A and B are shown apart, each in its own frame.
Chain A
């Protein structure tokens, strides 16, 4: 069992590495200001834009500020901060969805249905394999029988990279050097999982740009193989997003959704200066929840996502 308090502290420490922190700067800006005039509003706008929150949500928040706080009159800066926090939280809550079969705070599987299937997808270089390694480790820590399927048959040495992670997490891995067909590897992994009554199968897929039709079709095929073999949809399909990504993340998800369903997002590289502001638009638009954030390269650097914690953390300075 993880100590939740430690998790929180770790998250904050990792997130507050820099004074450039997303909205921490809002605090600095507003302290000492007495009026919410056009100049201050413009500065707030700038801070929001600079955090990749995007046009629509930024303008929405500015609008709310104008409506709720009397322009040009004295104001308490806490009022502004709280209002911005509140609006952002409302957006994240739109994505909150209860998945009855996993408890990620404790990495517990809550029902008897086996094997559980988790598929990891995303564009190139977002940190799919690293995230998968961390998830494998966490389930393994709770004594679940975990199997990794190395279905990235495309990138050079993707197999080797995943094998290192499998070793670190001490879980088994299915890799087939004789085939370039990811479907075949997934099939083999499912077969093994059923035979040996394994708990979780984690499927790593090749990074693919959402504009490549053939690769997107391949992804769809992988999902169909799982459905056919197990008579159920994968329990989770996580899309991994790099926190530095800008507005293109929205387009990415739109396209992935044309081919496969997504049950959650993993926001990686949150230990940098980018804070993944684009997720607000994503959650707002697609109602897909953020499930994890990645805050480093270590095997324990994956944290379950909590809207409140997340917003509090990005407001720290």
Chain B
């Protein structure tokens, strides 16, 4: 299916090849295909239509630069516009000045609230907070029990009393205050947005606990109805953010775009897997690639991006050639890799690789550590790693929350990389550059 789409897109792009400017006429086929891609990704029809109009407006009259094809130019415009619509940058978690910070979760049945509650608690715990989970779903059989068991798994206390949800919630805040919890996560029952009784219940809970932030939790596989539910919940409790769940499947998650467009609230977290640590801060750029589709289309986007990054690549090439590659450049490279998404996600995006990925455990944390270590260096140290002595390394280890051994390992790996670059510089340069990239990945 995706191959077919890419073919259509490419043939649509062919029409604009060799033309100097983007015009209404020469981009209409391409835009129609893009609209189909969006609809297949479950972007709301109306939202997709508005989006295409916007892209059309932005495209018209754009001059096609020699180094890129018109198709790449459109894809670039679409990608940028998508990222923009998805929120541009990552939205930070708000923590209350007067503890406890209170987080309220709401959503439809089966959207993954309870699992997310536990993941979120673990996430907060890792940042050094002391979270309390609150079980307010008194309706679904064994929902309280589920939260209790999850709490046990992550060693987080779960609050529950045999009362109405409103009372459980308000009691829990008192309990948290007097027992030194500085974060309270309130899990509520799944409810239909047209169930007035249940909707007033969630609105009452919100009134009572006055959460620091309230989140609408939504299954990323949801279709066109996403806008109706997102809007209804928004009208009732005016939530502060959105949580997308079950993103470890292959849904393209067009609802992210639809919901943003309708309620204009940031997507805060994505939840992607059965393991309780599989929670991530939302990255608009990754979501954009995902909505545009798998494999080939992402490659198109990347090609376009690369074309735009060519200047930077040239700069890097110069540095490599003159053996001036330092930790600053290393960090830039890491950022480029990260911009594409997490490594396991990148692998999963490559058609045919998802089964292989099963057997390969990728340590995403290794990347985080490497970046933390580099970030803890001073600019001087990054430019000139040779000055890294024992006391500097100790400071870096402390600053990045790693150990001296880990810092040493990175420095050693880096030195070896430099040596290799030097060696390869004497050979065919292009080949060397490719190998180098491979090494980082």
Contact = CB atoms under 8 A, between A and B. Distances in A.
B136 to A, nearest CB: 16
A124 B255 CA distance: 18
Contacts of B246: 123-125, 209
B242 to A, nearest CB: 15
Contact of B149 (A52, A156, A163, A242): A156
B45 A46 contact: yes
A232 to B, nearest CB: 31
B225 A274 contact: yes
A49 B221 contact: no
Contacts, number: 147
A211 B110 contact: no
Contact of A164 (B42, B142, B192, B226): B142
B108 A245 contact: no
A125 B112 contact: yes
Contact of A209 (B39, B41, B150, B248): B248
Interface string B94-110: 00000000000000111
Contact of B109 (A127, A214, A273): A127
B223 A278 contact: yes
A161 B150 CA distance: 15
Interface in A137-165: 154-161, 163-165
Nearest to A275: B225
Most chain B C-beta atoms within 10 Å of own C-beta, residue among A46, A55, A165, A211: A211
Contacts of A251: 250-251
A222 to B, nearest CB: 18
Interface string A225-249: 0000000000000000010111111
A166 B140 CA distance: 14
Contact of A156 (B150, B192, B249): B150
Given A17-B194, A272-B193, A213 B355 contact: yes
B254 interface: yes
A74 B111 CA distance: 46
A64 to B, nearest CB: 19
A125 B192 contact: no
Interface string B134-173: 0000011111011111100100000000000000000000
A104 to B, nearest CB: 23
B229 A154 contact: no
Contact of B358 (A165, A214, A272, A278): A214
A101 interface: no
B320 to A, nearest CB: 38
A159 B142 CA distance: 8
Nearest to B251: A248
B196 to A, nearest CB: 10
Contacts of B251: 246, 248, 251
Given A50-B45, A156-B149, A273-B194, A247 B228 contact: no
Contacts of B348: 211
Contact of A18 (B109, B112, B194): B194
Most chain A C-beta atoms within 10 Å of own C-beta, residue among B153, B223, B226: B223
Contact of A52 (B142, B145, B225, B252): B225
A12 to B, nearest CB: 16
B225 A49 contact: no
Contact of A247 (B42, B192, B229, B354): B42
Interface residues of A, number: 48
The secondary structure that dominates the A interface is loop
Contact of B274 (A17, A154, A157): A154
Interface in A183-206: none
A276 to B, nearest CB: 9
B39 A124 contact: no
A209 B274 CA distance: 10
A303 interface: no
B222 A244 contact: yes
Contacts of B224: 49-52, 246, 274, 277
B140 A247 contact: no
Nearest to A251: B250
B46 to A, nearest CB: 7
Contacts of B219: 125, 242, 244-245
A161 B141 contact: yes
Given A244-B108, A247-B41, A247-B42, A155 B146 contact: yes
Q: Which 9 A-B pairs have the closest CB atoms?
A: A246-B223, A125-B110, A164-B141, A246-B42, A274-B225, A160-B142, A157-B146, A156-B149, A161-B142
Given A157-B142, A158-B142, A158-B146, 20 more contacts: A20-B228, A51-B224, A52-B223, A125-B109, A125-B219, A155-B146, A157-B148, A161-B142, A161-B145, A164-B141, A242-B219, A244-B226, A245-B222, A246-B42, A246-B251, A246-B254, A248-B250, A251-B251, A273-B229, A277-B224
14 contacts: A46-B45, A52-B225, A123-B249, A125-B219, A209-B248, A211-B249, A242-B219, A244-B219, A245-B223, A246-B223, A246-B226, A269-B192, A273-B229, A274-B222
